[in-house]
Amino acid sequence: MTDAADDRNHSVFWQQMLTGEHPSLRRGRKMMRMITPTAGERCRLCCVGFDGFTAPALRRIGLGPWRRNPHFCEQCEKVLARERGGAEIEIAMLYADVRGSTQLAARAGPTEFAALMQRFFQVATKVFGKTDAVVDKMVGDEVIGLYLPGFTGSDYRQRAVAAGLELLRATGHADPAGPWLPIGVGVHAGRTFVGSIGVEDGNYQLAALGDPMNFCARLVASAKGGEMIVSEAVWRDVSGSIAAEPCDLELKGYPQPVRAWVTRVTPP
């Protein structure tokens, strides 16, 4: 009975944290605005200031920017790391991966290919930070960004799509000379488990799990270089702001064709 109650408490905690409605967050935001009244850059959760005259002292006590997303502080990250468990919430996710990476690695050689991936990861980190995503993974030739309502805002689906277009531009798909790295992008949204998984007092991972994540992985696998595929769950929120072509996709693991929209960036 106690375990079940603990699970419910953890779920409530995560639900409130991920949506920005936890009571301690509300109190903390008011206090942090008083302590750092002149700050321009703040943690999106607790509102601690990252600049101004108090910033050096705050960094020394663990209130500097979080390395996975500089829009959030290390202390908020530690709280999330300490609280094992999670909650199911509606989020958007962006997957981007390199097209033809095997052939590219064979042509370029290990060192040059590693430098190319490093450049890609740096570009993706900048785009994710700019659009208030949490970096979920940067592995091999793929990056994944999570757009959580409490972190990103109520327009989290639109922000994920904007990030996808920005990633295509940043890798050169709108340049007349062509991209310096061919990538495809997939964007989807759905109810997903988000939380801290791992072992007590050991390694942990802020993870997003569930069918929407798998579905988005299938979407990006269908995207050609320079394409972003947007799911039907996201399209209704962005249809008035971007041009795209409808398509029916056969996705591995899904018995029926799915409707999606394909958009591209083009040279001016």
Give the closest residue to 77 by CA, choosing from 89, 85, 69: 69
* Ramachandran region, residue 193 (left: φ > 0; alpha: ψ -120 to 50; beta: rest): beta
Domains of the chain (ranges, CATH numbers): 2-83 (no CATH), 86-264 (3.30.70.1230)
Which is more confident, 261 or 133?
A: 261
Which of 60-69, 127-136, 160-169 is predicted least confidently? 60-69
pLDDT of residue 248: 97
pLDDT of residue 68: 67
How far apart are the C-alpha atoms of 179 and 159, rounded to whole Å? 23
Which is more confident, 5 or 263?
A: 263
SS3 200: coil
CB 180 within 8 A of CB 171: yes
Per-residue pLDDT for 128 more than 80?
yes
**If you average pLDDT over residues 98-111, what whole number do you get?**
90
Per-residue pLDDT tens digits for 19-78: 767 776 667 777 777 777 767 777 777 778 888 777 788 888 878 887 766 777 888 777
**H helices present in 36-183, as ranges:** 55-60, 74-82, 101-108, 110-130, 149-152, 156-170
Is the whole-model pTM more than 0.75? Answer: yes
